[in-house]
Chain A
Amino acid sequence: MTSAREIARVVDEAHRGHWSTVLASTVRLTRDLDLAEDCTQDAFVQALRTWPDGIPANQAGWLTTVARRFALDRLRRETTLRRKLPLLIEDAVSPDDVEQPTDPLRLVFTCCHPALARDSQVALTLRLICGLTTREVAAGLLISEATAAARITRAKKKIAAASIPYRIPADEELPERLDVVLTVVQLVYTAGHVAAGPELTRADLTGRALELAGLLVRLMPNEPEPQALLGLLQMTQARGDARLSEDGELVLLADQDRSRWDVRLLAEGVSRATAALQRGHGRFALQAAVAGLHVTAPSWEQTDWHQVVRMYDAMLVSWPSPIVALNRAAAHSLVPGADLTAVLAELDALGNEPALKSYGYLPAARADVLARLGRREAAVAAYDEAIALTVNGAEQRFLRRRRAALAE
């Protein structure tokens, strides 16, 4: 007999590692998300009861078999009812065929279908792929539990009613659809990275995003963009500890103690990003390239800002977003000898973008350039605007310090 505590740890680990595999394989049998979720949950409960007598060698296989057996029992009992319910559509495969390594990938593409609202895609991915409870999803996304539950329910209903397929998209659809999946994973990471929620939930979300990016790399080893995303997230994660000072204040990349970076994770991220860049210049490859330029520079000042601006220029071609334009302008301001008046004009032009109307980073960037131009009053006003738009406590305190330094 293994101790209850040890079993709880093993099952918890299995939950993190195998939830999506077990669920996805059960979904393929039931073609019903709710039923599959219930049965997967029951399989983990069963593991807590049974594993004290011996932990199976192949945990994922054991859990999948149990979840599918539960599902078959329930389906048999409810056949007449089930015939009338809308079911997930999938391409013909035999239900006896348990070994389908691409199942989790199908589930990811279903959760991130472009016909679902972005908010729902993120909530559904956290719930179904990461196995978070509705309460954890709510905490991670800083929304109420009722809102999280409503988003998940609405998305599941749409999947069934509109016949959103449980399938990996065809090659010609893949670039567009993969982009949505990668964006959702990045949003999951960002939700953990800059949220104002409790510390533990944040770390949990970033961890889940890294796991998910890793899953995509394993399942699509020949696609450069998942590699690039994983590299990007690893580089960001490696700098995590240095983002907060000892008294819990936000430290910008410019002021970070680079000796506190996780060297091993950084190296892994850089090598992934480099490999991805050799095979394509997609959106995530270019973002990873910028991150790589930052972390391989000996210091903030010695960053190759020319090259950073060039990467943003390339990004603007395939991804003409005002956020990218804002980042480009910010990088431009740091090129040695840059014409700051021209940069300010670039930033002012972005003020008309509806997407940036309530985005605190724009006035913050303007404030910095205005301060460097010696226009103190305008800079203070821009900091005030940025502070009003910022919800994250650490970011707000950071902006206040910058504003206070100007007023001295």
Chain B
Amino acid sequence: MAQYVFLLFDTEEFYDNVTPEGWQEAMKLHTAFSEAVEAAGASILGGAALEKSSTASTVKQGSGEPLVTDGPFIETKEALGGFYIIDAKDLDQALALAKLCPSNNVEVRPVMDTSDGSAPPA
């Protein structure tokens, strides 16, 4: 098995207009996704929904004093809205599951092995 993080990038308009019913619908989609992952023999190791990008703060650490600014590190039309950590058999399974994930843009990234004795990334 290999671990992947699914990064969910979507526009944030949804939050501005969503009704309580719409919100419940969205939550149901994520529950259905979790069930699909388990049914495929993969598992969810973690994950979270994130508050809107307008609530983000960025700490920049350059050569001088750390600088605190408002907003996300990168301003894009689609913002990082949440993530999952998935344990899957291989990339094909991870991609098949990402297609079921309730988000318009899912970036699938393998998790690096940083355990004791791990080799640096090739």
> Which positions in A face B, CB cutoff 8 Å?
84-86, 89, 113, 115, 157, 160-165, 167, 169, 173
14 residue pairs bridging A and B, Cβ less than 8 Å apart: A84-B117, A89-B2, A115-B95, A157-B122, A161-B121, A161-B122, A163-B90, A163-B91, A163-B110, A164-B92, A165-B90, A165-B91, A167-B90, A173-B96
Complex interface residues of chain B between 65 and 122 (CB less than 8 A to chain A): 89-92, 94-96, 108, 110, 112-113, 117-119, 121-122
Q: B40-74: contact bitstring with A at CB < 8 Å (1 yes, 0 no)?
A: 00000000000000000000000000000000000
- A-B pairs, top 9 by smallest CB distance, nearest first, are A89-B90, A163-B2, A165-B90, A163-B90, A162-B110, A164-B91, A162-B91, A163-B91, A84-B119
Q: Say whether B119 contacts A85, CB under 8 Å.
A: yes
Query: Which residues from A are CB-within-8-Å of B2?
Result: 89, 162-163
**Closest CB in chain A relative to B62 CB, distance in Å:** 29
Interface residues of B in 8-55 (CB under 8 A from A): none
> What would 4 more interface pairs be, CB under 8 Å, given A161-B121, A167-B90, A169-B92?
A113-B91, A115-B95, A163-B94, A165-B91
- Shortest B116–chain A CB gap in Å is 10
Residues in A whose Cβ lies below 8 Å from that of B122: 157, 160-161
Instruction: Find chain B residues with CB under 8 A from A89 CB.
Output: 2, 89-90
Nearest A-chain residue to B93, judged by Cβ: A165
List the B side residues contacting A86 at CB < 8 Å: 113
Q: Which residue of B lies closest to A165 (CB)?
A: B90
Of the candidates A85, A115, A157, the one whose C-beta lies within 8 Å of that of B91 is A115
Q: Given the complex of chains A and B, what is the CA–CA distance between A164 and B88 in angstroms?
A: 12
Contact of B92 with A161 in the complex, beta carbons under 8 Å = no
Q: Do B92 and A165 have beta carbons less than 8 Å apart?
A: yes
| Chain A residues, Cβ within 8 Å of B90 | 89, 163-165, 167
B110 touches A167 (CB 8 A): no
Q: Are A173 and B117 in contact (CB under 8 A)?
A: no
Contact assessment for A161 and B110 in the assembled complex, using a CB-CB cutoff below 8 Å: yes
Q: How far is the CA of A115 from the CA of B95 in the complex (A)?
A: 9
Q: Which residues of B contact A167 (CB under 8 A)?
A: 90, 92
Greatest chain A CB density within 10 A among B90, B95, B121 is at B90
CB distance from A173 to the nearest CB of B (A): 7
Interface of A is mostly: loop
- Nearest-Cβ distance from residue B100 to partner chain A, whole angstroms: 14
CA distance A164 to B2 in the complex (A): 10
Report A110 CB to chain B, min CB distance, Å. Answer: 10
Neighbouring B residues of A173 by C-beta, 8 Å: 92, 96
> Which chain B residue has the least Cβ–Cβ distance from A114?
B95
Measured between beta carbons, the chain A residues less than 8 angstroms from B112 are 161
Q: Nearest-CB distance from A167 to chain B (Å)?
A: 7
Q: Smallest Cβ distance from A37 to chain B, in angstroms?
A: 15
Q: How far is the CA of A161 from the CA of B122 in the complex (A)?
A: 9
- Which residue on A lies nearest to B3, using beta carbons? A163
A267 to B122, CA, bound (A): 49
Question: Which of A115, A157, A160, A161 lies at the interface centre, i.e. has the most chain B CB atoms within 10 A of its CB?
Answer: A161
List chain A residues, Cβ under 8 A from B113: 84, 86
A113 to B95, CA, bound (A): 12
- Would you give the shortest CB distance from B1 to chain A, in whole angstroms? 9
Residues of B within 8 A of A164 (CB): 90-92
A133–B113 Cα gap in the complex (Å)? Answer: 32
Residues on B with C-beta less than 8 A from A169 are: 92
Docked pose: A86 CA to B91 CA in angstroms: 13
CB distance from A30 to the nearest CB of B (A): 15
Report A-chain residues with C-beta under 8 Å of the C-beta of B119: 84-85
Closest to B89 in A: A89
CA distance A363 to B112 in the complex (A): 49
Shortest Cβ distance from A170 into B: residue: B92
Looking across the interface, which residue of chain A has its beta carbon closest to that of B122?
A: A157
Min CB gap B22→A, angstroms: 32
In the complex the two chains form, what is the Cα distance from A89 to B2 in whole Å? 9
Closest chain-B Cβ to A373's Cβ sits at a distance in Å of 43
Residues of B contacting A157 in the complex (Cβ-Cβ under 8 angstroms): 122
Q: Are A84 and B92 in contact (CB under 8 A)?
A: no
- In the assembled complex, the CB of A146 is this many whole angstroms from the nearest CB of chain B, namely 18
Contacts of B91 in A (CB 8 A): 113, 115, 162-165
**A352 to B121 CA separation, bound complex (whole angstroms):** 43
* A164 to B117 Cα, complex, angstroms: 24
